[in-house]
Structure 1
Amino acid sequence: MDLYFDPVPLLSDARGVFLGQWSERKWLNVPGPFYGAETDNCGTGRIHAPGLVLYEADYFTEYVYRQPRTAEELQQLVDAAEAEAFSGYGCDGDTHWTPEAVREWWHDRGRIREYLANRRADWEVDDAKAGQGVAAAALKYAAYLDGDLAAHLRVYLFWLEERRSPTAADRLPQL
C-alpha cells in the first residue's frame, strides 16, 4: 500500500507563489492539493515539472496532471509555479476536495480520456515547434487514468477522511 505524501506542510515560504483561485481551476487537474487555475501560456510549466504539468489544447495554459509524491517532485512544481507569470497555481485543493467530489471526478474521468485523445494533434503540432513532449505526456496522463491513479486517489481519499497516511492495517475507501 502506498503512503500519502503530504506536500503542503513542506512549502513554507514557497506557499506565497501559489495564488491560483479554486473557482478558476481547470477541469483537467487531477484531485489533490495542487492545481492550475488561470495560468499563462508561456510554456514554462513542463520545463520545470514535466512529470506533473500539462498544457490544455485550446490556449496551452497549465494544469497539474500528477500530484507530487516526493520532495523532489514538490520542488519541481514550486519551480513551475515560480516561473508562472500569472501566479495561477493553487495549493489549497485539500480544503476544497471532498471524498464525494473526488469520486465524482473519478467517475467522469472518461471525459478527460476522450479530451486527451481528441486533442493529440494540437499537441503534436506544438511539439514540432516547442519540443516539450506534450503529446507524449498526454498519453502518459491517459495511461495514469487507467493505471496507478485509482490507487493514488484511494490513498488520497483516506487522507481526506482521516488526515493521516494509511497503514497496512487500514482499509482504503472505494472510489
Structure 2
Amino acid sequence: MGWDPVGELTAEDRKLFGGRWEERLWLNVPGPFYTGETDTCWTGRLHAPDNVLYAAACESVEYVFRQPRDAREVRNVVAAAKEEVFGEYACDGDLWWTPQAVRQWWAERARVAEHLVGAQTEWRGRDRFEDDALIGVLDFQAYLAGPLAADLRAYLFRLEEGRYPEAGERLPELD
C-alpha cells in the first residue's frame, strides 16, 4: 500500500485546496484531506459520497469522514472541493497530523459517535438531502466501529515511516 493520495493531485487540483488547519472541523478523520468552515450548499456528498459528510449541528458544513482509498475517490474529493465556494477543503493534513494528534483524535472518538447519533435523529425522514446525509451517517458509524482503526494504524505508520505499510508489516497501536 505505497500509494500517496495527495500524489494523485495535479497542480490545478492543488489550487482548489485553500483550507487552513486552524479552521479544521473536529469531525474530520485524520489524514491528508480535511475541511474547514465550508459552505452550506449540500454539494460535497453529490461528488464524494464515500468520503464527505455534513455536520448536523453546523447546518451542513462538510467534512472528510473517510480518506480517499483510491484514485477515483481522490477525483471525487477534488470535485467536492471545486464546488465548495469558500475554498475550505485542504490536502496538507500530513504536515499537521502527528502520531500523538491521531491517537488523541481516536481517544475522543466517543464525541464523534455521539455527534453521529444526534445527526441520525436530526436527519431521519426530512427530505432527500437529509436522507442522503443519513446514509452517510450510517456509513460513518459503521466505519468508526469497524475498519477505521486499521486505517488509522496504517496512517500512523505513514506518519512515522514516511510511507504506507507493506503487507505483513507491524502497525503502530492507536491506544
Q: Tell me the TM-score normalised to structure 2 length.
A: 0.93
Residue identity opposite 2:155 in structure 1 = Y
Matches within 5 A, 1:57-136: 57-58=56-57, 59-124=59-124, 126=126, 128-130=127-129, 133-136=132-135
* Aligned sequence identity (%): 51
Does residue 31 of structure 2 align to residue 32 of structure 1?
A: yes
Deviations 1:66-101 (A, max 9, x none): 000100000000000001000010111000000000
1:121 Cα deviation after fit = 2.4
The answer to whether the 8 Å contact 1:47/1:132 transfers is: no
SS of equivalent residue, structure 2 residue 15:
helix
Deviations 1:145-167 (A, max 9, x none): 11000110111000000111212
Contact persistence 2:34–2:89 (CA under 8 A): yes
Q: Which residue does the alignment assign to 1:49?
A: 48
Q: Is the 8 A contact 2:123 2:131 kept in 1?
A: no
Contact 1:5–1:69 (CA<8 Å) still a contact in 2? no
Deviation at 1:137, TM superposition (A): 1.0
**Gaps spanning 5+ residues in structure 2: where?**
none
SS in 1 for 2:49: coil
- Are 2:160 and 1:161 aligned? yes
Q: What amino acid sits opposite 2:7 in the alignment?
A: P
Q: For residues 117-175 of structure 1, give each alpha carbon's deviation from its aligned partner in whole angstroms, at most 9, with x where no partner exists.
A: 0221222255x153651112101101101100011011100000011121234211000
CA drift of 1:57 comes to 0.9
Q: Which amino acid aligns with 1:12?
A: T
- Inter-partner Cα distance in structure 2 for 1:125 and 1:25: 29
Distance 2:168 2:133 in 1: 39
Is the Cα–Cα contact under 8 Å of residues 4 and 155 in structure 1 kept in the other structure? Answer: no
CA distance in 1, matches of 2:83, 2:132: 19
Q: How many residues in Structure 1 have an aligned counterpart in Structure 2?
A: 172
Distance of 1:28 and 1:117 partners within structure 2 = 13
- Cα–Cα, structure 1 residues 4 and 39, in superposed 2: closer, same or farther, change >3 Å? farther
RMSD (Å), alpha carbons: 1.4
